[in-house]
Amino acid sequence: MLDTLGRPLGALRISLTDRCNLRCRYCMPEAEYAWLPRRDLLSFDEIVRITEAFVALGVDRVRLTGGEPLLRAGAAGLVRRLAALPGVADLAMTTNGVLLARHAAELRAAGLRRFSVSLDTLRPERFQALSQRATHPDVLAGIAAAAATGLRGMKIDTVVLRGFNDDEIGDLLEFGRTVPAEVRFIEYMDVGGATGWTPALVVPRAEILATLTSRYGPITALDRTGSAPAERFALPDGTVFGIVSSTTQPFCASCDRSRLTADGMWLRCLYAITGTDLRTPLRAGAGPDALRELIAQTWRQRADRGAVDRLGARSPGTVFVSAASLRRDPHLEMHTRGG
Ligand code: SAM
Ligand code: SF4
């Protein structure tokens, strides 16, 4: 099943909650937030039913995210149910790692296939300045616990911010080697929630590569794997890392991802302003066929190229969504739609 630009429905990111135990300044910079009403959050039964519909239409990669997914009680129980669905080839979680030491082993036992842990700095004082919490040691313990499960393919996701952590790019790679985990450097995006975004804070892919080349020598670009958002590279010694350059080099042409918010709003693009409400029909009694039909029809009409459009429309100093709009509609928030 293809959208209007010939892109299949391949990956689904499911936000388990919009709540978070950090306040990263690139994601949640405001003092107050409008939270999703708890009664609106999808139950695990509802998430499983929706996921079944997506899998029947071609989705084979599922990622649990948020907000902080590990704040959702019983997340491992959901992992067990999703891992048991025939057709789910890859089941991953993106977490800030704060609660991971407690949950890593049970997540693996439940059938999670891969961990991605966000880590922007190796320095506790910088972590506290960025996230407004003092839980850097917990994140490092979470990464160690995830590595101790023996699951392969761990990723460390680092948003690179000029003047904040761009001097740690090489050190983070070194840290990744010790875990072991593949580090992915992410360009700062002006998605909803990033109300402090300015072009000056973005460290482009070319600059990340130049920094690493001057430290390690010539870098080799690896073949791109399918629709993966990261371009992958190798250092002269073979260490592999990734760069997600959605701000300066959008990859909308191959994007097969869509997102489900914790209250059942289906977004076909990270930059989408509106979505499709799947919760209301589900709670009104829509069966599997009706749900599949709604998703299929919507996907076939998809023409979103949010990052490409944003690159063309961006004028210096403007943010994508204002703080006032975010207060009116929490679905515009990065922590609500799931990164
Ligand atoms: N709380 C979890 C975490 O931090 O890993 C999962 C949700 S978080 C929204 C998912 C990813 O989005 C994180 O790696 C985070 O660094 C990234 N992110 C958030 N805001 C961003 C922004 N403005 N630009 C680029 N990446 C961003
Ligand atoms: Fe930070 Fe993730 Fe929480 Fe956003 S959702 S504030 S990126 S930990």
In a domain, 3, yes or no: no
pTM (two decimals): 0.96
Share of the chain above pLDDT 90, in %: 78
Place 339 in a pLDDT band, splitting at 50, 70 and 90: confident
Q: Tokens representing 25?
A: 């300044």
Residue with the larger pLDDT of the pair 211 and 306: 211
Given a cut of 90, whether residue 146 has pLDDT beyond it is yes
* Closest to 57 (Cα-Cα) out of 12, 106, 119: 12
Cα of 235 vs centre of ligand 2, distance in Å, is 29
Specify the residue for token string 């739609």: 337
52 in contact with ligand 1, CB cutoff 6 A: no
Residue nearest to atom 9 of ligand 1 (CA): 339
Could you tell me the sign of the dihedral formed by the alpha carbons of 134, 114, 26, 260, in that order?
negative
Tell me if 278 sits within 8 A of 260, measured CB to CB. Answer: yes
pLDDT at 68: 98
In a domain, 2, yes or no: no
In a domain, 88, yes or no: yes
Mean pLDDT of the chain, nearest integer: 94
Ligand 2, CB within 6 Å, residue ranges: 20, 22-24, 27-28, 66-68, 96, 118, 335
Residue 53's contacts (CB-CB under 8 Å, 6 or more residues apart) are 288, 291, 292, 295
In a domain, 6, yes or no: no
Given a cut of 60, whether residue 128 has pLDDT beyond it is yes
Could you read off the pLDDT of 214-271 as tens digits, one per residue? Answer: 999 999 999 877 777 899 999 999 999 999 998 988 889 899 999 999 999 999 998 8
Residue with the larger pLDDT of the pair 63 and 193: 63
Cα of 19 vs centre of ligand 2, distance in Å, is 9
pLDDT at 74: 98
In a domain, 1, yes or no: no
In a domain, 301, yes or no: yes
In a domain, 328, yes or no: yes
Q: Note down the domain range covering 197.
A: 11-337
* Closest to 195 (Cα-Cα) out of 65, 34, 318: 318
Could you read off the pLDDT of 72-95 as tens digits, one per residue? Answer: 999 999 999 999 999 999 999 999
3-state class (DSSP) for residue 48: helix
pLDDT at 329: 85
Q: Choose which residue among 19, 159, 333 to substitute to test ligand 1 binding: the one with the highest number of ligand atoms within 8 A of its C-beta.
A: 159
pLDDT at 317: 58
Residue nearest to atom 10 of ligand 1 (CA): 339
CATH code where residue 264 lies: 3.20.20.70
Could you read off the pLDDT of 258-317 as tens digits, one per residue? Answer: 999 999 999 999 888 889 999 999 999 999 999 999 999 999 999 988 888 878 776 655
Q: Which ligand is nearest to the CA of 158?
A: 1
142 in contact with ligand 1, CB cutoff 6 A: no
Tell me if 154 sits within 8 A of 181, measured CB to CB. Answer: yes
* Domain count across the chain: 1
pLDDT at 309: 82
Q: Which ligand is nearest to the CA of 71?
A: 1
320 in contact with ligand 1, CB cutoff 6 A: no
pLDDT at 250: 87
Q: Tokens representing 225?
A: 């794997």
Which atom, in ligand 2's list, is nearest to the CA of 28?
Answer: 6
In a domain, 123, yes or no: yes
